[in-house]
Amino acid sequence: MKNTFLCTIFVFLLTVIFPLKSFSQTNKAVVLPKTVVYKRVGLEKNDFKATFTIIYPRIKILGSKTVEQKIIKFLNYEKVFDYSLGDEIKKFSSLENVFYKLNYNKNGFLDVTLFMETFGAYPWTTKEYFVFNLKTGEQINVSELFNPGSTAQLTKKIRTAILHELKQRQIPPEDALSFQYPSITIEQIQLDNMEGFSINDKGLTFIFDYNFNFASKADEPAGRYFFGWAELKPFIKPDGLLGKFIR
């Protein structure tokens, strides 16, 4: 009787507890902030730009050092934003803050946005968007998520959403594109023109940054076009990374 009970417990551990542990280790990252305030050499405490602040993402992928190192390499601030930390410390510069936002960390996806704030003649924020496959550590390209034969129809839906926002904001399409894409029209926008995308439990947001200049920044459209999983289902590869959301 005792042996039977022990066997039952063993089977339970194998079929329930251990798989859950494996899932958590390979499909979710631990991301914690590390804040560092740097002082520029040769500048007094009260001098403008005497310091700048960087908030680093400390990333840990339990059970996969390879995936961890890949993602850390992708999110290297100096490479992403093309600056040198050593140079920033030694010179008077416009760099003010560098930080990140964790958008999603579930279902095998890690969605992170990086920000760099600079102040020169006027303040400016630069953004870069990353969504990673936590099984491989690779950055996901939005086009690989959908059936190749359906991207034309999907792009058409995105264009319709863009035109709807511009109409609501009373911004002529040619004016909206004049800063970032002066040589194309709305009808020529392709999936690859998206700056990035963001994912959550309800669906996917396509990101299109218009990058208006500082004088016009207040009028810039949001450029965030959300579609729920039901709406995206006809375009998603059933056996692809998003397949789990449409089953």
Strand, coil or helix: 50: coil
Whether residue 195 is predicted with pLDDT greater than 50 in this model: the reply is yes
Pairing of strands 203-207, 196-199: antiparallel
Instruction: Please indicate whether residue 7 or residue 100 has the higher confidence score (pLDDT).
Output: 100
Decide if domain 22-140 falls under CATH 3.20.20.70.
no
pLDDT attached to residue 63: 79
Residue range 225-236: mean pLDDT, rounded: 98
Q: What is the pLDDT of residue 138?
A: 97
Pairing of strands 95-106, 51-60: parallel
Distance CA 110, CA 23 (A): 15
Predicted local distance difference test score (pLDDT) of residue 49:
80
Which residue type, as a one-letter code, is found at position 86?
G
> Would 22-140 and 141-247 be classified into the same CATH topology?
no
Q: What does the chain come to in residues?
A: 247
Pairwise CA distance, residues 202 & 200, whole Å: 5
| Percent residues over pLDDT 90 in the chain | 77
pLDDT at position 145 over 90: yes
**Whole-number mean pLDDT of the chain?**
89
Q: Domain spans of the chain?
A: 22-140, 141-247
pLDDT at 20 (0 to 100): 39
The pLDDT of 221-247, averaged and rounded, is 96
Helix (H) or strand (E) holding 6: helix 2-12
Contact 134, 61 (CB under 8 A): yes
Tell me if the domain spanning 141-247 has CATH number 3.90.640.20: yes
Residues 6+ positions from 13 with CB-CB distance below 8 Å: none
Strand partners, 131: 111
**Where is average pLDDT lowest: 18-32, 152-166, 196-210, 217-231?**
18-32
**Phi and psi angles of residue 208, each rounded to the nearest 5 degrees, phi first:** -130, 100
Tokens read off for 227: 């579609």
Which contacts qualify for 86-91: CB closer than 8 Å, 24 or more apart?
88/38, 88/40, 88/52, 89/38, 89/39, 89/40, 89/41, 90/40, 90/41, 90/42, 91/40
The pLDDT tens digits of the residues spanning 50-93 come to 899 999 999 999 879 999 999 999 999 999 999 999 999 988 78
Q: How far, in Å, CA of 202 to CA of 205, rounded?
A: 10
Q: Which of 190, 210, 105, 211 is nearest to 142 (CA)?
A: 190
Mean pLDDT computed over 87-113: 94
pLDDT for 27: 59
**pLDDT tens digits for range 2-47:** 455 444 444 444 444 444 344 444 557 999 999 999 999 876 666 7
